[in-house]
Amino acid sequence: MGSFWDKVKGLMNSDSDKPALDITLSEKKGGIVKINCTSNGKYLIRSVASISLFQVAFDTAKKTRTKSIHGLEGDWDRYGPECFYFEVMKVVPRPEGMKDKDYRDLLSAAEREISQREDPALSY
């Protein structure tokens, strides 16, 4: 059957009329994303180095009903993937020449800033 990531790669490389998501290096931007559960109002906030790749993974998990987003497993099974939606909270472009560690630190700071505005009781 193949792993979850094999399915993601398959969707990204498919020759269908409408590809899942066209990702080029120039469009690869990181940022802060939020996955919301409509059944219980809970949310998961993550900093990601590539919003596009994370969205492909999320969309693939929904389409294939695969558990892939760490932290959502119990509610993903309980309510079903159709009860979750993806939201970009903030785009954080990587400054040219910035080292990986510095970019991760920048993303982590942005995640903390966004998380402080949300209700911690509803966080996964």
pLDDT at 20: 47
Chain segment 35-73, per-residue pLDDT in tens: 999 999 999 999 999 999 999 999 999 999 887 788 887
pLDDT value at 108 more than 70: yes
pLDDT: which is higher, 73 or 81? 81
What does residue 18 show for φ and ψ, rounded to 5 degrees?
Answer: -130, 100
Residues in the chain, total = 124
Give the count of beta carbons closer than 10 Å to the beta carbon of residue 36.
Answer: 17
Residues 6+ apart with CB under 8 A from 29: 50, 51, 52, 91, 92, 93, 94
pLDDT at 70: 86
pLDDT at 6: 54
* Residue written as token pair 């109002």: 41
* Average pLDDT estimate for 70-82: 90
pLDDT value at 16 more than 70: no
Identify the structural domains of the chain with CATH numbers, from first to last: 4-122 (3.40.1440.10)
Among 65-79, 86-100, 107-121, the least confident range: 65-79
* Average pLDDT estimate for 87-98: 95
Entry pTM = 0.76
